[in-house]
Amino acid sequence: MPHWLELMLWGSADVLLLTLAAAANLALRTSLARLAGEMEGSAHEERLSQLYASRQQFLQATGLLRIGAILVLVLIVLAFLEETQFGSDRTRSAWAFLVTILLCAVFALAIPAGIERYAGETLILRCAPVLQAVRIVLFPLLWVLGMFDPLVRRLAGVSDEESSQTVDVEREILGVVSEGERQGAVSQDEREMIESVIELRNLHVNEIMTPRTDIVAVPVDATLEDVRRTIREHGHSRIPVYEETIDRVVGVLYAKDLLQIDGVPNFDLRAGLRTPLFVPETKRVRDLLHEFQQQKIHLAVVLDEYGGTAGLVTIEDIIEELVGDISDEHEQPEARPVVQIDPRTYDVDARMSIEEVNEELRINIPESEYYETIGGFISSSLGRIPGVGDLCRHDGIAFEVVDGDARKVSRLRIRLPDESGQEAEEVRA
C-alpha cells in the first residue's frame, strides 16, 4: 500500500474521531439533561444517570479526545504534504496549518453542530458505553485536571455553592431555552422570564430596591388625618413609620391595621405598627425571597453599611424582576423608562441602570463603582448635580437633562450618532 494512501486512511479515521468527540461534547452540554428526564423509568435510566452525575469528567474526556485528534491531524497533514512533495520546505508547515484549520472548521464545528442538533440524543445513547471506556482510560489525566478546578474557582471569586456543575446546568438550561425560541417552542417573554429566574441568585437587594429618596413614609407622631392622606395619595398598603429621621424606622403600618386603631381616643400610631424587617443592601434577592416566604411578610427596610436607610424592597419588586412591571388600580401611571422620539433620540428615566440602558439602546456606556444609574453617570461626568438643560457627551452620544431638581436628575434625552459615526449635534426634539 502506498504510504500516501496509508496516511489518508489514518487521516480519515482521525477526522471521524474528531467529529464524534466534538459532537459528543456538544450533546453532553445541551442534550443530556433533557434526555435523562425523558428516559426516566426506561432501561437507559441508570446509564444516563451515571453520565449526568459525572458529566464534568465526560466533558473533559471528550475535550481531551478532540484536542488529541486535532494534534494528530496536524501531523498527518504535514506528513502527507511531505510525502507528496507539495510546496517548498518553507511553506509546507504553513499549508499544513491552513489545511488543518479548514478541516477543523468542517469536522470539529459545522458537522458536529448539525449532529448535536438533529441526533444529539441518539448519539449519547449509542456512545454511552464508549464514553464510559474513554473516561476510564483517561482517568489519570481527568484527576489531574480536577485538581485545578478549586484553584480556578477561588481565583475567579466563585464561592463553593456556585460550583462549576451549577454554572454548567444554568448554561445548559439557557442553551435549551434559546434553541427552543429559535424553533418556535418558547416565546420571547417565556425566555426572558426563565433567564430572570436563573439570574435571580446573582442579584442583590440594592439593585431592585426603591431608593431612599423615593420612599413614602410617615413620622411616628403623624396625625390620623396625615396617615389617611398619605395612603390615599400614594395607594400603598404598607408604609414605613420613622422617628425623627428616615434612618430610624420604628415600624411598618399596614393600611388594614389602621382600621383597628381608627376612632380610638388619644390616637397613637405606635399601637398599630408591626416590627420591620431590616436587611443589608448586599443581601441576595433569592435569600430575601426565602425570608419573605418564611416570615410571611412583604416588605423590608434596606440598610447601608453605616446602618442608615438605603431604600425599601417589597415582594412586588422581586416579582417584577421576574415578570416585568406590575400595576394595580391604585397606582398612578408612570412614564415608560425608555420612550423613542425618533430613530436616534430617546427619552430615558435617569434611574435606569447602566446595564439596562446599554441593553435597550445598544450602546456601551462604561460601568463604574462610583455610579449605578445613567443619571449617576451624567453627574459623575460633569462633576456636579446637573440642572435641566445641561449637556454631556460621551463617545459621540449626546445627553441632555430634561427633568430634575436641585438634588437629582429625573429624565434624560439621549441622541445617538448617525450611521456614519458622526456625533450628535443636539438632542432637543
278 plus 349 within the same structural domain: no
294 plus 342 within the same structural domain: no
Q: Is residue 328 part of a domain?
A: no
- CA torsion through residues 343, 349, 353, 356, sign: negative
Residue (of 387, 386, 388) closest to 402 by Cα position: 388
Q: Which residue type occupies 333? A: P
Q: Which ranges in 243-301 belong to alpha helices (H)?
A: 258-261, 285-295
CATH of the domain at 310: 3.10.580.10
Round to whole Å and give the CA distance between 140 and 397: 55
Q: Which residue type occupies 60? A: Q
Question: If you average pLDDT over residues 418-426, what whole number do you get?
Answer: 59
The single-letter DSSP state of residue 297 is -
When pLDDT is cut at 50, 70 and 90, the band that residue 57 belongs to is confident
Q: Which residue type occupies 45? A: E
pLDDT in tens, 195-239: 778 777 788 998 889 999 889 999 999 888 888 899 888 888 899
Q: Which of these ranges, 37-46, 87-96, 251-260, 308-317, has the smallest mean pLDDT? A: 37-46
Q: Is residue 153 part of a domain?
A: no
Query: Quick check: 15 and 103 in contact, CB under 8 A?
Result: yes
58 plus 120 within the same structural domain: yes
Range of the domain at 265: 205-323
Q: Is residue 423 part of a domain?
A: no
Phi, then psi, of 167 in degrees rounded to 5: -65, -40
CATH of the domain at 401: 3.30.465.10
Q: Which grid coordinates belong to 351?
A: 434611574
318 plus 347 within the same structural domain: no
Residue 48 has pLDDT above 70, yes or no: no
Number of domains in the chain: 4
Q: Is residue 187 part of a domain?
A: yes
214 plus 310 within the same structural domain: yes
Round to whole Å and give the CA distance between 317 and 315: 5
Q: Around 240, how many Cα atoms within 13 Å sit in the side-chain half-sphere?
A: 27
Residue of higher predicted confidence among 371 and 37: 371
How many other C-beta atoms can be found within 10 angstroms of the C-beta atom of residue 252? 23
Question: If you average pLDDT over residues 1-11, what whole number do you get?
Answer: 80
pLDDT in the model for residue 427? 46
349 plus 309 within the same structural domain: no
